[in-house]
Amino acid sequence: DNFHLGRVVVHHPSSDHMLVVATDFQIGDPVPPLDPRFVFVLERGSHAVVWLGSKCPLLQQSRAAAYRFLEHVQVVEVHQLSCADCPAGQETPHFWEMLGFGEPPEGHSTEHPCWDAEFQMLCDPPDSIKASEAA
């Protein structure tokens, strides 16, 4: 049963690409690193969830990057994924089960200072990413 929890970030301050970077979260860890400033991609088995952080400044662009990633996964791994959005605060029991929890763990959605620099790039993205926001 494959498992992946990744976070959508701007590739580089001068880049117009967004990508999904892996987190170090593993099933069995006490708390998932869901930072409300980001969009996360959770994949387990044939299911995928795009968790939409409530404070993400580039929500639509990050969501689009998450779905591009999932399309790529389906092509490379040659299997279909059932994909759904999950706005922060509207997590379903299935979402928590995918992360290995029976119920939401305490402190599951907190800002992680180690990601402040990446958050700053979301707040001040390259012009090409800003332009995609207007489209």
Q: What is the pLDDT of residues 79-119, one digit of tens each?
A: 889 999 999 999 999 999 999 998 888 877 788 877 777 88
42 close to 49: Cβ distance less than 8 angstroms = yes
Q: What is the pLDDT of residue 134?
A: 47
Helix (H) or strand (E) holding 97: helix 93-98
Q: What is the pLDDT of residues 65-79, one digit of tens each?
A: 999 999 999 899 878
Distance linking the first and last C-alpha atoms of the chain: 38
| Phi, psi torsion values for 98, nearest 5 degrees | -60, -30
DSSP character for 62?
H
- DSSP sequence for 14-59: T---EEEEE----TT-SS--B-TTSEEEEEETTEEEEEE-TT-TTH
Tokens of 112: 């992680």
Q: What is the pLDDT of residue 82?
A: 93
